[in-house]
Amino acid sequence: MRDIVNENDFKYYMQDIERHYFGCRYSYNELTANEMVPFKFKTIITKYIKDLIDPDTTLESHLYYMDKDSFDYEIYKQLKSRIRVSQYKDPSKREKGFKEKIYTITEFVRIPVKEKEEKGIIVRELVISKLALFGFSV
Protein backbone atom coordinates (compact mmCIF):
# COMPACT_ATOMS: atom_id res chain seq x y z
CA MET A 1 0.00 0.00 0.00
CA ARG A 2 1.25 3.44 -0.93
CA ASP A 3 1.39 5.96 1.90
CA ILE A 4 0.34 9.48 1.06
CA VAL A 5 2.26 12.18 2.88
CA ASN A 6 0.00 14.58 4.77
CA GLU A 7 -3.19 12.64 3.97
CA ASN A 8 -5.00 14.71 6.59
CA ASP A 9 -4.29 17.89 4.63
CA PHE A 10 -7.02 16.70 2.26
CA LYS A 11 -9.49 15.95 5.05
CA TYR A 12 -11.06 19.24 6.02
CA TYR A 13 -14.37 21.01 6.36
CA MET A 14 -14.74 24.75 5.80
CA GLN A 15 -17.57 27.13 5.13
CA ASP A 16 -18.21 30.66 4.00
CA ILE A 17 -21.41 32.68 3.62
CA GLU A 18 -22.70 30.68 0.63
CA ARG A 19 -21.06 27.24 0.65
CA HIS A 20 -19.72 24.23 2.53
CA TYR A 21 -16.34 22.79 1.45
CA PHE A 22 -15.30 19.19 2.11
CA GLY A 23 -11.83 17.74 1.46
CA CYS A 24 -12.39 14.67 -0.71
CA ARG A 25 -10.11 12.28 1.20
CA TYR A 26 -12.82 12.03 3.84
CA SER A 27 -14.75 8.77 3.89
CA TYR A 28 -18.46 8.86 4.59
CA ASN A 29 -17.79 7.30 8.02
CA GLU A 30 -15.32 10.09 8.83
CA LEU A 31 -17.78 12.76 7.69
CA THR A 32 -20.55 11.45 9.92
CA ALA A 33 -18.14 11.26 12.87
CA ASN A 34 -16.86 14.83 12.40
CA GLU A 35 -18.64 17.22 14.75
CA MET A 36 -17.98 20.18 12.44
CA VAL A 37 -19.91 18.72 9.48
CA PRO A 38 -23.46 20.11 9.28
CA PHE A 39 -26.03 17.82 10.90
CA LYS A 40 -28.31 17.93 7.86
CA PHE A 41 -25.52 16.69 5.56
CA LYS A 42 -24.78 13.88 8.03
CA THR A 43 -28.48 13.00 7.97
CA ILE A 44 -28.47 12.88 4.15
CA ILE A 45 -25.42 10.60 4.24
CA THR A 46 -26.99 8.31 6.85
CA LYS A 47 -30.48 8.22 5.34
CA TYR A 48 -29.67 8.03 1.62
CA ILE A 49 -26.02 7.57 0.71
CA LYS A 50 -24.85 4.90 3.19
CA ASP A 51 -27.43 2.47 1.76
CA LEU A 52 -25.97 2.91 -1.74
CA ILE A 53 -22.25 3.30 -1.04
CA ASP A 54 -19.84 1.54 1.31
CA PRO A 55 -19.37 3.94 4.27
CA ASP A 56 -15.57 3.55 4.00
CA THR A 57 -15.64 4.98 0.47
CA THR A 58 -14.00 8.38 0.14
CA LEU A 59 -15.73 11.35 -1.46
CA GLU A 60 -12.89 11.34 -3.99
CA SER A 61 -13.61 7.80 -5.18
CA HIS A 62 -17.39 8.11 -5.03
CA LEU A 63 -17.53 11.31 -7.06
CA TYR A 64 -14.93 10.10 -9.59
CA TYR A 65 -16.94 7.00 -10.50
CA MET A 66 -20.47 8.40 -10.01
CA ASP A 67 -23.05 7.42 -12.62
CA LYS A 68 -25.55 9.93 -14.01
CA ASP A 69 -28.37 7.39 -13.67
CA SER A 70 -27.84 6.84 -9.94
CA PHE A 71 -29.89 8.14 -7.02
CA ASP A 72 -26.78 9.52 -5.28
CA TYR A 73 -26.14 11.70 -8.34
CA GLU A 74 -29.64 13.15 -7.94
CA ILE A 75 -28.88 13.93 -4.29
CA TYR A 76 -25.69 15.81 -5.16
CA LYS A 77 -27.47 17.58 -8.01
CA GLN A 78 -30.18 18.78 -5.58
CA LEU A 79 -27.41 20.08 -3.30
CA LYS A 80 -26.04 22.18 -6.21
CA SER A 81 -22.71 20.40 -5.78
CA ARG A 82 -19.53 21.44 -7.49
CA ILE A 83 -16.31 19.48 -7.70
CA ARG A 84 -12.87 21.11 -7.44
CA VAL A 85 -10.23 19.08 -9.26
CA SER A 86 -6.61 19.22 -10.32
CA GLN A 87 -5.90 18.16 -13.89
CA TYR A 88 -3.13 18.29 -16.46
CA LYS A 89 -2.56 21.72 -17.97
CA ASP A 90 -2.71 20.22 -21.47
CA PRO A 91 -3.93 16.61 -21.48
CA SER A 92 -3.07 16.00 -25.17
CA LYS A 93 0.60 16.91 -24.63
CA ARG A 94 0.77 15.79 -20.99
CA GLU A 95 2.30 19.20 -20.37
CA LYS A 96 4.01 19.30 -17.01
CA GLY A 97 2.01 20.69 -14.17
CA PHE A 98 -1.57 20.81 -13.09
CA LYS A 99 -4.30 23.40 -13.16
CA GLU A 100 -7.28 23.69 -10.89
CA LYS A 101 -10.80 23.56 -12.27
CA ILE A 102 -14.29 23.56 -10.79
CA TYR A 103 -17.03 21.49 -12.43
CA THR A 104 -20.72 21.34 -11.61
CA ILE A 105 -21.75 17.83 -10.60
CA THR A 106 -23.59 17.49 -13.93
CA GLU A 107 -20.52 18.48 -15.97
CA PHE A 108 -18.27 16.19 -13.95
CA VAL A 109 -20.47 13.09 -14.15
CA ARG A 110 -20.78 13.49 -17.94
CA ILE A 111 -17.00 13.00 -18.32
CA PRO A 112 -16.26 9.30 -18.92
CA VAL A 113 -13.75 7.66 -16.55
CA LYS A 114 -11.33 7.07 -19.43
CA GLU A 115 -11.32 10.80 -20.24
CA LYS A 116 -10.83 11.64 -16.55
CA GLU A 117 -7.76 9.39 -16.57
CA GLU A 118 -6.43 11.05 -19.75
CA LYS A 119 -6.89 14.49 -18.19
CA GLY A 120 -5.14 13.31 -15.02
CA ILE A 121 -8.09 14.43 -12.92
CA ILE A 122 -7.66 14.26 -9.15
CA VAL A 123 -10.79 15.10 -7.14
CA ARG A 124 -9.83 17.56 -4.39
CA GLU A 125 -12.95 19.13 -2.93
CA LEU A 126 -16.74 18.85 -2.78
CA VAL A 127 -18.54 22.20 -2.63
CA ILE A 128 -22.19 22.29 -1.55
CA SER A 129 -24.55 25.26 -1.61
CA LYS A 130 -25.78 26.24 1.86
CA LEU A 131 -29.12 27.36 0.43
CA ALA A 132 -29.59 24.04 -1.38
CA LEU A 133 -28.71 22.11 1.79
CA PHE A 134 -31.17 24.27 3.75
CA GLY A 135 -33.91 23.57 1.19
CA PHE A 136 -33.22 19.82 0.96
CA SER A 137 -36.12 17.94 2.47
CA VAL A 138 -34.97 14.97 4.57
Q: Which has more pLDDT, 138 or 91? A: 138
Supply the range of the domain harboring residue 104. 17-135
Least confident of 48-57, 75-84, 87-96: 87-96
pTM exceeding the 0.85 threshold for the entire prediction:
yes
23 domain residue, yes or no: yes
Residue 23 phi/psi, 5° resolution?
-65, 135
- Which CATH number does the domain housing residue 109 bear? 3.30.465.10
Please tell me the total count of domains within the chain.
1
8 domain residue, yes or no: no
Q: Mean pLDDT throughout 88-95?
A: 69
Q: Tell me if residue 81 falls in helix, strand or coil.
A: coil
List, as one string, the DSSP characters of 29-52. Answer: HHHHH-TTS-HHHHHHIIIIITTT
Sign of the alpha-carbon torsion through 53, 58, 61, 67: positive
Q: How confident is the model at residue 98 (pLDDT cuts 50, 70, 90)?
A: confident
- Alpha-carbon span 89 to 97, nearest angstrom: 6
112 domain residue, yes or no: yes
The predicted pLDDT at position 1 comes to 45
- Is the predicted pLDDT of residue 91 greater than 70, yes or no? no
Q: Mean pLDDT throughout 45-60?
A: 93
Element (H, E) at 73: helix 71-78
Q: Tell me if residue 100 falls in helix, strand or coil.
A: strand
